[in-house]
Amino acid sequence: MINVVFKRVIHIVYVIIGLGLFILVIFGNPNNKTNSVFVGSSKVDVTPKFPVVLAGYGGRTQEFEGIDTKLWARCLVIGKDNPAVLVVIDNCGITSKIRNHLAERIKKFGISESNLVISATHTHNAPSLRGYAPILWAGRTSPNQEDRIDKYTSFLIDQMESLVVKALENREPMKLSWGRGEVQFGGNRRIIRDGKWAGFGFQRNGPVDHSLPVMVATDLKGETRVIWSNYACHCTTIGGRNHLNGDWAGYANELIEKNNKSAISLLTIGCGADVGPQPSGGSKDAIKHGSAISKEVNKVISDDMTPLPGVTETAVKELQLPLQKPKDRKNWQSQLKVGGFHAELAKSMLKKIDEEGSISSEVKYPIHTWKFGQELAVVFLAGEVVVDYAVRFNKEFDWKRLWISAWANDMPGYIPSRRILDEGGYEAEFSQVYYDLPGPYLPEVEDIVTNGVRALLGKEYMAKKNQQAPTFHKLPSMEPATFKKISDWFKSFADSDRTKANELRELVNLARSGCDSIEREDGEITDWYNFSGDFDERVFIRQTKKGASLSCKSGFSDNGRSEVYSFTGGVGWISEPMSDGFLMTINKRHQIKFDVAKEYSSWESEDKLVKLFYLPTWTSEQDSGGFFFIRFMEPSIIKDKTLRVRVYSNTAGSKRWFALDLKQDFDQRIKLLREAMN
């Protein structure tokens, strides 16, 4: 009997020791980054139950007409004592006043104001909130519409409070980790001509941020409970449809949660103020973009991720961003006569002069940081921050341990960089009116914001000397895929027409550079798809004006004159009326007529001594880009020291075009083309 009791006591002791070791592993050393952290999450439906005008587009002055998707607010709480709280709302933007209301309400739950971050997904199809872009609606809404804006704002604050409370209640021990993927549907939307802003579009050689940082919280059973991701792109795929819709961010959250049944997904937006979704135009594109996010998130969380110790430090800094000196009363009084947004801004500025004595030349700007030990620093920036800030931060700080979010805690408008202020345009100038600002920022804002972030992150997050630059700030070149596609096409081409295939292979093998320099003449500069589908600068002429011309020339090498010379360019707008096309003259003696083509084509000079060949390697429904080859049937006919090629519009009345790529890079490209065909 004694032995039995003794054995039971020993067994109990072992159980206690084992349990103690388990607790030590799970909750022990706070410096052990594999420890669990108290994490809670929740989400709540914030779809309005009554009519309200939508933010984002000034042309919509009526309340929403339908609901495409529900709108949500989501919350992530990290930590047991003095927790860090992130709230993400499906909305165009959050104001500091709304954030302060929520911060005051949740103080009683032990959440310090500095630990609260509210971010917006920047969907342009959510209700307008009181104080957001105030001039957008000034003088354009009825009293009833104004009341409903206030009603929805109060409703959202109530819902966010209940959301935070629920997330606090849901806290339990979890493991945190993070990783990074890439998504590529964001494209720079600022079209630049001669160094200045020329409108919105797709500037393929403009900066982007295709990084997709992902943080995951997994419970002690191994179930994924929270997924937080971040992408730098405007949430505007849907366009101006007057329906409630979470846009690509909403669809991404929905798909992530569908693929991870036990998880709540939060998606914040990075420095994408000048980055737009490509393509755009409706829900189909928005779903595709959301799906791209969801697929990459699943890829990231299926790979090895870096464990995190929880939020070890939060910090806040309020900066003062300088504006250009505000205009005087006389200027604003004159603006009253202009009408529209500018007249409403003038009313606001005159009111400030009357009530405050002057117009402030500074804007309050909050920045927040969360540190996860030495493993990760998250930077939260207010407003619509252009991508140049991400590019600079990832150069000056250790980008492998950096996560950058914007549209957080306040909406002081667009935050332009020095470059964008120099280029001018919407983000630098025109948009200021909507945010009740008297004029553009001064160029030093970029340094002020960067220095503020540097002060919060400290030396431990500075970039090491000779840090390798990230690859996600440029659109990846299509050239490698293009030459692979050419190789596959050529094999099929050779099977169907061996004679032409041999002719083309010979052209490629003999070719030398035929475009060492370009003379613009009547040509215009633009950016368009080159031979591989990359967006590159080029010079072009149209058939709208007869005689419009451009030219290029190339010197002959000391090794003699070649039979074949080549350059890259393109032709396009095939649906435009067919006409007499283009006329190419070679050294003023040989003339060749040609026109738009989307297939391998050739044309012969009138004197039968020279041929022009065109190999399209990128095509769309309307245009093509590729390699041109000029072949002298007898090299001995070349009497000049240089090859000079001039192309004219041979007609008028059509918008068909011919272009030369300003960047030829002939030696490398012809080498790859030869490899693809041999």
pLDDT of 194 reads 82
Q: What SS3 state is found at 580?
A: coil
| CATH code for residues 488-677 | 2.60.120
Give the pLDDT band (50/70/90) at residue 640.
confident
Q: Is the pLDDT of residue 3 over 80?
A: no
Q: How far apart are CA 377 and CA 250, in angstroms?
A: 25
Tokens matching residue 493:
């081409």
The residue among 382, 377, 387 whose CA lies nearest residue 367 is 382
- What is the rounded average pLDDT of the residues 417-445? 96
According to DSSP, the residues that pair with 592 across neighbouring strands are 584
Give the pLDDT band (50/70/90) at residue 636.
low
pLDDT tens-digit readout, 385-394: 999 999 999 9
pLDDT of 2 reads 42
Q: Is the pLDDT of residue 58 over 90?
A: no
pLDDT of 121 reads 98
Give the pLDDT band (50/70/90) at residue 561.
low
pLDDT of 34 reads 55
Q: What is the pLDDT of the chain when averaged over all its residues?
A: 92
- What is the rounded average pLDDT of the residues 401-408? 98
pTM, rounded to two decimals? 0.76
pLDDT tens-digit readout, 211-236: 999 999 999 999 999 999 999 999 99
Percent of the chain with pLDDT strictly greater than 70:
94
The residue among 296, 397, 369, 308 whose CA lies nearest residue 86 is 369
According to DSSP, the residues that pair with 524 across neighbouring strands are 540
- What is the rounded average pLDDT of the residues 423-448? 96
- What is the rounded average pLDDT of the residues 337-360? 95
pLDDT tens-digit readout, 75-102: 999 999 999 999 999 999 999 999 999 9
Q: How far apart are CA 328 and CA 343, in angstroms?
A: 15
How many C-beta neighbours within 10 Å does residue 671 have?
11
pLDDT of 559 reads 53
Q: Backbone dihedral region of 416: left (phi > 0), alpha (psi from -120 to 50 degrees) or beta?
A: beta
Greater confidence, 204 or 183? 183
Give the pLDDT band (50/70/90) at residue 560.
low
How does 512-533 read in b/e, with b if 16+ C-beta sit within 10 Å? bbbbeebeeeebeebbbbbbbb
User: What angle is formed at CA 122 by the lines to CA 121 and CA 128, rounded to 5 degrees?
Assistant: 115
Evaluate whether 129 touches 91 at the Cβ level (below 8 Å).
yes
The residue among 157, 44, 163, 42 whose CA lies nearest residue 95 is 157
Give the pLDDT band (50/70/90) at residue 6.
very low
Query: Exposed, middle or buried, 585 (CB in 10 Å: 0-12/13-18/19+)?
Result: middle
Evaluate whether 581 touches 650 at the Cβ level (below 8 Å).
yes
Question: Domain-by-domain residue ranges, the chain?
Answer: 32-325+361-476, 488-677
- Say which DSSP state 361 is in: S
- What is the rounded average pLDDT of the residues 319-345? 95
Q: How far apart are CA 306 and CA 179, in angstroms?
A: 6
Stretch among 29-38, 249-258, 553-562, 601-610 having the lowest mean pLDDT? 29-38
